[in-house]
Structure 1
Amino acid sequence: MSHSTSFITDSTVQAAQWLKEGQLLAYPTESVWGIGCDPYNQAAVQRILDIKQRPQAKGMIVITDSAARLTPLLVALNDEQRKQVIDSWQVGSDDNDRQNRQAHTWLLPIPDALSTAIPTWITGEHQTVAVRVIAHPTIRKLCQQMVSTHNPFGLLVSTSCNPSGQSPASTFDAAYAYFDKQIGYLQADTLHYTLPSQIRDAVTGLVIR
């Protein structure tokens, strides 16, 4: 299959540049492909909501590269809650058991001091933000590239790469078949986790998904 390569890259620097310009980007995650944008760019977030026919009220998952970067967001948790969240984000470098691993997204309460740090078009109708430290080394590098004065946590929107009602793309070709030249693509493999990511409430411990 031949593709025009002007919107396909294997460079996290190039991909971050596209995101900062307001473009949408498809990229591999732990299990499937995701589609994302700069979470502080309301027009870009709205494009994703439109593509996915998703109501803004539901909120969006965001990812970043390290738990340390999220320290200001974790202060609202007690020590036990904080440890559970951070431990779930530890990834062994020699981990061969990826098939049985699961990515963990947590609903974190937003401290009053950060009430304006996370846009309402990301939180939706919730008083929490759904966030994950991604295990994918390439996407961690991408998040590092996203750190700026307006995005201090290096956040990237992460929602499954598919139109409403379709299955999430598991490969680059599947993602491209869905969205063609509407968006950019960061080419790499997923981490081949077979379990979908889990979403839990960091305060109550309840599994949401």
Structure 2
Amino acid sequence: MSPHLVNKDDLNKALETLKNGGLILYPTDTIWGIGCDATNEAAVEKVFALKGREKTKSLIVLLHNDNQLASYVNDVPEVAYELIEYADKPLTIVYSNAKNLAKNAVAVDGSIGIRIVRHPFCEQLLQRFRKPLISTSANISGEPSPTCFDDISPVVKGGVDYIVGYGQHEKGDGKSSTVMKIDPSGKFAFLRK
């Protein structure tokens, strides 16, 4: 079996967990993440509780296609589509004026970080789920982000409702995405390179 073949049973269990407001532990195009339905406030609350993360810190949301941006952001600047198209590595863009997401997923100033994910498992999961996913590093707040599945603490593994099988044996580079902030006028700045 190819390492890039997504197991339907694995995908279905992850979907079922998300639909029931649960947390999943899953591989992304950057590092392993804790995920949930980004429109479900109770599920997002569980993410903060598991990570011990301050609620003032916003989370990243994953989508599988930039056509979906307008559903979750008011006034997407045209330059955002160009940045996404030409990005050669994972790029998270922080947009102003988020909408249709759980209130506790959005920053106090109304902004949200969104990444269009390019990853076999995530893309299929997002296409079938038809909602955005929360993606936050699979660690307790203040601890180092895991570079591979084996680095994830037993506390995190025990705190989620489903652990995705896909990608557990792959060694990632452990790099987080580049983060840019873009304002409605199209002006942008790097927050993390």
Q: Give me the TM-score of the superposition, normalised by structure 2.
A: 0.80
The corresponding residue for 1:146 is 129
**Contact 1:15–1:186 (8 Å) recurs in 2:** yes
User: How far did residue 193 of structure 1 move?
Assistant: 4.3
The corresponding residue for 2:145 is 168
Q: Secondary structure at the match of 2:190?
A: coil
User: Structure 1, unaligned stretches of length 5 or more?
Assistant: 1-8, 89-100, 148-153
Deviations 1:124-158 (A, max 9, x none): 302222110111111111111221xxxxxx20000
Q: 1:58 to 1:165 in 2, by over 3 A?
A: closer
The corresponding residue for 2:91 is 104
The corresponding residue for 1:40 is 39
The corresponding residue for 1:51 is 50
The corresponding residue for 1:92 is none
User: Structure 2, unaligned stretches of length 5 or more?
Assistant: 1-7
Q: Give me the TM-score of the superposition, normalised by structure 1.
A: 0.75
Greater displacement, 137-146 / 188-197 = 188-197
Superposition RMSD on alpha carbons, in Å?
2.4
**Partner amino acid, structure 1, of 2:176:** P
1:121 and 2:104 aligned: yes
One of 126, 143, 156 as aligned partner of 2:133: 156
State the number of aligned residues: 179
The corresponding residue for 2:26 is 27
Q: Secondary structure at the match of 2:95?
A: strand
Q: How far apart, in 2, do the equivalents of 1:21 and 1:64 lie?
A: 19
User: How far did residue 15 of structure 1 move?
Assistant: 0.3
**Partner amino acid, structure 2, of 1:188:** Y
User: How far did residue 106 of structure 1 move?
Assistant: 0.4
